[in-house]
């Protein structure tokens, strides 16, 4: 639909001052840029897949262990423990499992300080190896120049043996001793023929030998034993021997422990690494060392207690013998005195108290080795002993009230019974400790041996690939939205009218014209998109052509007040579509019965001759330089009522030619011979040609492209033309994408038939 100057037909449009954001427009913008977004997503998807597939695979082995929470101390000590002051045995065992004592012995047993890394092809080596490519397959894939290129990147010649290690090739080293100054330094082992190899450091050979033989250099301190080598001649492996502490730290970082069930005492121990076979061996070794040291500690504990018992038993035996002799002697002297019932009760109470005091004495001897006297457990023992001693004092006071004979018999009988019970208790404990020492099981059990989990745990190729695709899509969407947000180009007629440019027509973007332009992009000349054929002829029912018919009607009334029948069509910058508007407007005017002359006044980069499928030579530049006459320069377009004047050969001085008299004479001649003369000029912001031509045209129309020309640029263009004496009647808003501007209801009228 065509709008007229003075806001006619545009009164229902929303103001540009209101926020121009709605969901429909956002979705439409994304749909218009869907191929860019899809391309970005696919690009990131491929990049993410390549990156993930190029990372070294990390595998994991796991095992189950059980840690019993029982204490290894004497039974009495457990009753004296205050809260968690005695420590959590399970937590302690877990810390021991990760300690340098256990991990360090594992490192020593398996010599994990030796680190081996195969040399891979730059950029794509890990990707190919992870997909199982062997050396023979790679050689078939990299013939000729590709192999030479990869060789230059890798630092080797194509006719030499490749130093890269591929799938199925490996190196096993059982021993690798280096001098102190070479610890942590990188050495290179290069494979030779027949199982031989050469070890170098900084490209200087230090050892040479063959698989299965120990080679050493007493002078330098190197010693090497290669147990397995499967690689083609020329393959290279990087080797290092790190310090013992570094090897322990690396192994500790790879070890993970997780509880299985609450308070179950069962734990899953996991070890991750790049070598599938090695991590199983390492994990089995760790649990084996842990179990051995646990059993050993239990055995040592039993041995210490057994030594203590062996020391106490003879002493108690002597005391028991002395007590029994004293009791027997006294009975013989007093003719076998018996105890009364009351005295026997006192005796039993005293014996019980003395036995408890004896147990406390044994417990105190063990506590003294473990804790300071200020420890809560030690303090609990002292409080218990004080209570028993107070009870013993009360019982002894009751004994003092007995007859002298009963007191003596009670004392001697008590000593005998106390020593006897202590002696029996010590003998039982010694037997128990002997059994514990002989068959120590420990508090740790290995429930499952180490097993390698299926597949790799990292990298997660699928997850990284999908994540990369989503990231690329999101970045593309954000880029499109940011571009839209920061785009200050004209989008509505209100913006043009705000700077004093009445809108004569709103021309929607044409899919048909896009097909024409696409066909001729391969014939691009000096970066200008040209078109062959005219939309008004090839597809006259297009809404774009209908909008130009509306422009024809508006111009008919607007030019009634003009001083002549000349119409200049220009724009602020290239790619605004002024040539498209000029050519197709000329066609629709000619179709309406007007005699029209279309002049390509852009003698620099004009391309209207392509639209009529004619040559540029023999046009305006030749006419203005008096090399052709008017009758020779003006050509029929092939369409009734429409003639065409091409730009001609590009002259060195277009502006000067337009200022000469022949141009004035051309326009003066055209006025009576045609009803309408349309002049297509260069962009105003680029050169001054439009200002020169505009002085000879009674009407001037500026083309503004939707989404391209900012309002500020159009305002400057308008001001520049006015300063040159050219009055701009109005503007045409060209190539409007109404799919993203459905809030303007007048776009929908183009669908009317």
What confidence category does residue 700 fall into, taking pLDDT thresholds of 50, 70 and 90? very high
Six token digits for residue 299: 């055995």
> What pTM does this model have?
0.66
**Looking at the DSSP assignment, which residues form a beta bridge with residue 643?**
597, 636
Place of tokens 């326009």: 667
- How many angstroms separate the CA atoms of 534 and 513, rounded? 8
pLDDT band per the 50, 70, 90 thresholds, residue 746: very low
Give, in order, the Cα–Cα distances in Å from 512 to each of 507, 530, 543.
13, 14, 10
Q: In 339-376, which positions are buried (b, 16+ CB within 10 angstroms) versus exposed (e)?
A: beeebeebbebbbbbbbbbbbbebbbebbeeebeeeee
> Which structure tokens are listed for 638?
């092939």
Question: Which distant-in-sequence residues (6+ apart) come within 8 Å of 69 by Cβ?
Answer: 88, 89, 90, 265, 443
pLDDT tens figures, 140-191 = 776 654 555 555 655 555 545 789 999 999 999 999 999 999 999 999 999 9
Q: What is the pLDDT of residue 471?
A: 96
CATH 3.40.50.300 holds for 491-751: yes
What is the DSSP code string of 595-662? Answer: -EEEEE--TTT--HHHHTT--SSSSHHHHHTTSS-HHHH-EE-SSTTEEEE---SPPS-HHHHHTSHH
Total residues found in the chain within this entry: 753
Q: What is the pLDDT averaged over residues 401-418?
A: 70
Q: What is the pLDDT of residues 205-230, one digit of tens each?
A: 999 999 999 999 988 899 999 999 99
Mean pLDDT of the region 42-67: 94
Tell which wins on pLDDT, 300 or 547.
547
Averaged over 582-606, what is the pLDDT? 95
The band of 197, judged by pLDDT with boundaries at 50, 70 and 90, is: very high
Query: What are the boundaries of each domain within the chain?
Result: 31-55+459-484, 114-241, 302-443, 491-751
Q: Is the pLDDT of residue 366 over 80?
A: no
Q: Which of 217-226, 405-414, 498-507, 516-525 has the lowest average pLDDT? A: 516-525
For residue 58, count other CB atoms closer than 10 A to its CB.
Answer: 14
Q: Three-state DSSP class for 320?
A: helix
| Beta strand ranges found along 370-455 (DSSP E) | 444-452
| Separation between Cα atoms, residue 657 and residue 206, nearest integer Å | 84
CB 398: neighbour CB atoms within 10 A? 14
The answer to which of 60-69, 87-96, 357-366, 696-705 has the lowest mean pLDDT is 357-366
Rounded to the nearest 10 degrees, what angle do helices 276-333 and 341-370 cross at?
A: 150
Q: With cut-offs at 50, 70 and 90, classify the pLDDT of residue 745.
A: very low
**Which ranges in 133-192 belong to alpha helices (H)?**
135-141, 144-154
**pLDDT of 707-737, one tens digit each?**
889 999 999 999 999 999 999 999 999 999 7
Q: What is the pLDDT of residues 617-641, one digit of tens each?
A: 999 999 999 999 999 999 999 899 9
What span, in angstroms and rounded, lies between the C-alpha atoms of 599 and 680? 6
- Mean residue pLDDT across the chain: 83
HEC profile for 679-747?
A: EECCCCCCCCHHHHHHCCCCEEEEEEECCCCCHHHHHHHHHHHHHCCCCCCEEEEEEECHHHCCCCHHH
User: Taking Cα atoms as reference points, which of 588, 567, 537 lies closest to residue 676?
Assistant: 567
Angle of helix 244-254 versus helix 100-110 axis, rounded to 10: 110
Is pLDDT larger for residue 71 or for residue 467?
Answer: 467
436 SS3 class:
helix
> Helix-strand-coil percent breakdown of the chain, rounded to 5?
50, 15, 30
């Amino acid at each position: 639909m065509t709008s007229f100057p003075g806001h006619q037909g545009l009164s229902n449009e929303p103001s540009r001052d209101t926020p121009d954001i709605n969901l429909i427009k956002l979705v439409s913008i994304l749909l218009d840029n869907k191929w860019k977004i899809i391309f970005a997503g696919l690009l990131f998807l491929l990049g993410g897949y390549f990156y993930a597939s190029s990372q070294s695979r990390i595998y994991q082995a796991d095992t189950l262990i059980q840690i019993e929470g029982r204490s290894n101390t004497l039974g009495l000590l457990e009753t004296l423990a205050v809260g968690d002051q005695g420590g959590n045995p399970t937590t302690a065992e877990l810390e021991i499992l990760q300690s340098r004592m256990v991990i360090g012995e594992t490192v020593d047993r398996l010599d994990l300080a030796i680190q081996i890394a195969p040399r891979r092809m730059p950029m794509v080596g890990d990707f190919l190896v992870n997909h199982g490519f062997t050396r023979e397959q790679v050689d078939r894939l990299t013939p000729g120049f590709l192999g030479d290129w990869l060789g230059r990147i890798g630092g080797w010649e194509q006719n030499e043996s490749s130093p890269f290690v591929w799938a199925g090739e490996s190196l096993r080293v059982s021993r690798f001793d280096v001098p102190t100054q070479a610890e942590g330094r990188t050495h290179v082992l290069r494979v030779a023929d027949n199982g031989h190899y050469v070890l170098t450091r900084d490209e200087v050979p230090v050892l040479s030998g063959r698989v299965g033989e120990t080679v050493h250099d007493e002078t330098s301190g190197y010693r090497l034993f290669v147990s397995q080598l499967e690689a083609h001649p020329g393959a290279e492996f990087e080797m290092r021997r790190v310090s013992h502490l570094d090897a322990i730290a690396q192994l500790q970082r790879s070890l993970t422990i997780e509880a299985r069930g609450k308070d179950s005492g069962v734990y899953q121990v996991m070890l991750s690494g790049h070598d599938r076979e090695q991590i199983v061996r390492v994990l089995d070794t760790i649990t084996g060392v842990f179990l051995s040291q646990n059993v050993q500690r239990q055995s040592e504990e039993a041995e210490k207690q057994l030594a203590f018992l062996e020391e106490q038993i003879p002493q108690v035996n002597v005391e028991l013998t002395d007590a029994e002799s004293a009791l027997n002697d006294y009975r013989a002297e007093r003719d076998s005195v018996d105890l009364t019932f009351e005295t026997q009760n006192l005796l039993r109470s005293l014996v019980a108290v003395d036995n408890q005091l004896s147990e406390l004495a044994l417990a105190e001897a063990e506590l003294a080795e473990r804790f300071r006297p200020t420890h809560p457990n030690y303090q609990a023992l002292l409080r218990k002993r004080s209570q028993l001693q107070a009870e013993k004092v009360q019982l002894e006071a009751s004994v003092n009230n007995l007859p002298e004979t009963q007191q003596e018999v009670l004392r001697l009988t008590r000593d005998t019974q106390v020593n006897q019970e202590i002696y029996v208790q010590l003998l039982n404990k010694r037997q128990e400790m002997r059994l514990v020492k002989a068959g120590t099981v420990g508090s740790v059990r290995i429930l499952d041996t180490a097993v390698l989990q299926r597949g790799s745990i990292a990298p997660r190729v699928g997850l990284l690939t999908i994540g990369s695709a989503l990231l690329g899509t999101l970045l593309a969407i954000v880029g499109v939205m940011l571009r839209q947000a920061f785009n200050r180009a004209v989008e509505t007629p209100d913006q043009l009218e705000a700077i004093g440019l009445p809108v004569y027509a709103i021309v929607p973007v044409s899919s048909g014209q896009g097909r024409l332009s696409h066909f001729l992009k391969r014939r691009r000349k000096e970066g200008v998109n040209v078109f062959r054929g005219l939309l008004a002829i090839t597809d006259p029912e297009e809404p774009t052509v209908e909008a130009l018919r509306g422009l024809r009607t508006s111009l008919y009334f607007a030019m009634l007040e003009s001083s002549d029948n000349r119409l200049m069509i220009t724009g602020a910058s290239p790619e605004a579509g002024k040539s498209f508007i000029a050519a197709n407007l000329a066609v629709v005017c000619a179709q309406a019965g007007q005699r029209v002359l279309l002049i390509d006044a852009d003698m620099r980069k004009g391309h209207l001759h392509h639209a009529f499928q004619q040559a540029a030579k023999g046009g305006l530049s030749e006419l203005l330089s008096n090399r052709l006459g008017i009758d020779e320069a003006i050509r029929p377009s092939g369409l009734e009522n429409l003639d065409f004047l091409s730009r001609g050969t590009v002259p060195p001085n277009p502006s000067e030619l337009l200022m000469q008299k022949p141009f004035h004479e051309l326009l003066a001649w055209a006025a009576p011979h045609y009803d309408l003369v349309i002049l297509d000029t260069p962009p105003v912001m680029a050169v001054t040609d439009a200002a020169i031509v505009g002085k000879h045209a009674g009407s001037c129309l500026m083309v503004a492209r939707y989404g391209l020309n900012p309002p500020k640029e159009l305002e400057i263009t308008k001001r520049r033309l006015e300063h040159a004496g050219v009055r701009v009647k109005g503007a045409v808003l060209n190539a409007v994408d109404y799919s993203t501007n459905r809030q303007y209801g007048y776009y929908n009228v183009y669908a009317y038939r």
